[in-house]
Structure 1
């Protein structure tokens, strides 16, 4: 019986399988001299060279085009080519699906360079490109190791609702869900599907907080939705978030967890996805010649550097001082109490410290109601973790565990306490100090893969005016 291999398995075995008869399946990446087929099945960035006999060449030469799916049975031999150690000499080929040459010319599968914008226009085919298949394999491994990390550290995975009646952040636009005809005025939401106004969730944090009072350490990992018209390279309307919540944790422990968590992920990917990372690294060396460091260098800097930790007040002082020292002006003037903009965050990370930075103790006026008030009454126990090029990749805080103060914060921020009665209730049944954070999964994938646009690290991006596929 002929043994079936994935191309990755076959190439990993290398010369130990020479002279063995094997079966492989995949899609043709190129076909040259009517003899040499370059085959890939998605299991690896590397291709397998298949060599046709004269008999198979005559039998199949009109059927075989780029993109055609085939099954090949043949004998493994050592290759005299420099790009591979083995090749497959075919004794039999079965064609599953043909590709018409006229259709091929209109697709991104034709062998030439395409822009990322062009790839997005044919998102259903871009899995079959080298760069996108690399990104998707890395994305898979990041997701896998996130679950592994939390499992090994005693966290429980909690599924929080996607449909909600409240806005966790207290600001920003949400996608409404309804079965009603919204053209009618007024709309009677008591007759709607849920008998009230409902939205797609922007976060599972509040629900996850309730779970820690029974489970201690939990995390969520799922899609969230924001309806802001943010047409930037760092924003999606539908994206994925990881949100751990931990009972009996203060802010410092929360920051320690965030740093350890990110370094675990980056080390895991450097260990497991070096082939894909090396391909991306070479890609960016070629197309980002003006950059001083490349992908692998950047990942190793994050892995080996202790993250710098500064208060918001210290950050503001540094930025004001640097403006004077460097004789420059930020587009957004620095004032204590403002929300730091991307230009400020990037200056701290890329120019001043040159390593990841954690900024903590933000003004209460620019942060959400659930963050714990400091003794000064002006700042909250919040933290943002800033990465090179990406900016904020994690936002978190120590949560306000004191019922009366939380109630007052809800009132001060004009948040509807009637919708959050259940959240307030948790502070009346054995409340404890606790902390948590939110990690933008797609931004993390963007950082690890080195992609400029977040739309190129998710299979089917949802952004303003774009919801195809």
Structure 2
């Protein structure tokens, strides 16, 4: 008999004489009622065991977390809460289950405890919902770009360049940890390493994607990236996924149009495909908010925030205008901000970004034309020689979710910026070639995928939206 998914059984339009379903026991009560879940949906299906004709030894082994195979008939439920239940005619327990040691008991667990059990936490309702939403968002990203005619490009994970110029990268080496070969100056001799040079895990696929955009027109990357930033906060991961489109002939305005359309598409897709999961996460967030002091509670629920992004055009504001707004704001004048804004050129913090979105404009915001000194070398310099054609998209509750720019297509300007930063031009000869041969205006942006999942699910710690988080002092599992 073909195995059925719990989701399909719950959505059935009529009773079924014979069904087969496999899953994990969430609860077993009164020696009769199994709440069974197989991961296909957040809801469990009730399976009613004939306890009078089931061996006592078998009943003892039906414990929370046990994997079972059930056969029976799908009938209308006598209880409230669901339309159908399974009347069990055959039950097989698959493998062993140590009920006394199983960590995921049917009670509320702290998120910290669940992170310590990341290999099992997905069996809870919260993480099952989050990971289904993550999967759907991932598919929506590919579908959006494929529908728009983009080419999916797999950029290198091992790289010899630092796209961000930040230097916080994980080194990749095959040299021995003890007594590596040295140069005459006493430094590690990377010429004798596997790649013949110093290499790292990538922080971005952007530079390589740009080269492909200058031949294929519009491309995107979607893959893992790494940053060795020793930051133990709820917003940082050492390993994360980035979505990075690059488009030839797009200026900054077209880049902003693309980013806004893209984000609204994937959020709408998640709302359409993950209704039950998002309603559950919305209620969960509301319950969490009730535990906070009134002054710290969010003004919007999860579903409200998602609709807020879909129903409001993104307000486009220059960095200079934003600084004026922030300097003259009540929180700044009353020194309520942790980082006071007192001059042009300041690097905006999350509290400033959220003020602009949630308090001042009451809509998603795209800031553009940032000071050149606080942005990367590859961003196009404006005629004022002070600002670059950069843009950041700011969302309620989270601040920056997208960063992008029009790229510097002029060879001489790019060479000067590289020299000013002390970057060895020889390391980027291939990147500069795209400015030597057939240069053109082009733009792109980066979306931190976990930031998107964080926003769409309403979770508050980025470690809870990736299956196995990698953070300082933590590479478990």
1:130 to 101, 107, 125: 125
Contact 1:77 1:88 (8 Å CA) reproduced: yes
2:391 to 383, 393, 412: 383
Secondary structure in 2 matching 1:101: coil
Match for residue 171 of structure 1?
A: 166
Contact 2:7 2:41 (8 Å CA) reproduced: yes
1:55 to 42, 53, 56: 53
Partners in 2 of 1:325 and 1:221 — Cα distance? 38
Q: TM-score, normalised by structure 2?
A: 0.95
Tell me whether 411-420 or 207-216 shows the greater mean CA deviation: 411-420
Aligned residue runs from structure 1 range 244-393, under 5 A: 244-289=245-290, 290-323=297-330, 327-334=334-341, 335-393=343-401
Partners in 2 of 1:356 and 1:415 — Cα distance? 35
Contact 2:168 2:228 (8 Å CA) reproduced: yes
The count of corresponding residues between Structure 1 and Structure 2 is 463
2:157 equivalent to 1:162: yes
Aligned residue runs from structure 1 range 41-80, under 5 A: 41-53=38-50, 54-56=52-54, 58=56, 60-80=58-78
After superposition, the C-alpha distances for 1:18-46 in whole angstroms (9 at most, x for unaligned) are 14210000000000000111100000001
Tell me whether 283-292 or 134-143 shows the greater mean CA deviation: 283-292
Partners in 1 of 2:469 and 2:418 — Cα distance? 34
Match for residue 204 of structure 1?
A: 205
Contact 1:218 1:246 (8 Å CA) reproduced: yes
Unaligned runs of 5+ in 2: 180-185, 291-296
Partners in 2 of 1:99 and 1:140 — Cα distance? 28
Contact 2:153 2:209 (8 Å CA) reproduced: yes
2:6 equivalent to 1:11: no
Contact 2:65 2:99 (8 Å CA) reproduced: no
2:461 to 436, 450, 453: 453
2:110 to 95, 115, 118: 115
Match for residue 20 of structure 1?
A: 17
Deviation at 1:324, TM superposition (A): 7.9
Deviation at 1:345, TM superposition (A): 1.1
Secondary structure in 2 matching 1:142: helix
Partners in 2 of 1:386 and 1:183 — Cα distance? 46
Partners in 1 of 2:138 and 2:3 — Cα distance? 28
Match for residue 398 of structure 1?
A: 406
After superposition, the C-alpha distances for 1:303-337 in whole angstroms (9 at most, x for unaligned) are 10001110000000000111488633432232211
Tell me whether 178-187 or 267-276 shows the greater mean CA deviation: 178-187
After superposition, the C-alpha distances for 1:273-318 in whole angstroms (9 at most, x for unaligned) are 0000011111111121233321111100111000111000000000
Partners in 1 of 2:262 and 2:337 — Cα distance? 32
After superposition, the C-alpha distances for 1:218-237 in whole angstroms (9 at most, x for unaligned) are 00000000001111111100
Do the aligned partners of residues 390 and 303 (structure 1) sit closer, same or farther apart at CA in structure 2, a change above 3 Å counting?
same
Deviation at 1:59, TM superposition (A): 5.8
Partners in 1 of 2:386 and 2:177 — Cα distance? 42
Q: TM-score, normalised by structure 1?
A: 0.96
Contact 2:327 2:333 (8 Å CA) reproduced: no
2:90 equivalent to 1:92: yes
RMSD value, Cα: 1.3
2:470 equivalent to 1:462: yes
Deviation at 1:181, TM superposition (A): 3.2
Match for residue 182 of structure 2?
A: none
Deviation at 1:241, TM superposition (A): 0.2
Contact 1:374 1:380 (8 Å CA) reproduced: yes
After superposition, the C-alpha distances for 1:218-267 in whole angstroms (9 at most, x for unaligned) are 00000000001111111100000000000000000000100000000111
Partners in 1 of 2:403 and 2:97 — Cα distance? 47
Unaligned runs of 5+ in 1: none
Match for residue 218 of structure 1?
A: 219
Contact 1:52 1:90 (8 Å CA) reproduced: yes
Partners in 2 of 1:417 and 1:365 — Cα distance? 19
Match for residue 151 of structure 1?
A: 146
Contact 2:453 2:465 (8 Å CA) reproduced: yes
Partners in 2 of 1:93 and 1:99 — Cα distance? 15
Partners in 2 of 1:74 and 1:59 — Cα distance? 20
Tell me whether 325-334 or 385-394 shows the greater mean CA deviation: 325-334
Match for residue 82 of structure 1?
A: 80
Partners in 1 of 2:338 and 2:284 — Cα distance? 32
Contact 1:172 1:228 (8 Å CA) reproduced: no
2:35 to 33, 38, 57: 38
Secondary structure in 1 matching 2:11: helix
Contact 1:120 1:456 (8 Å CA) reproduced: yes
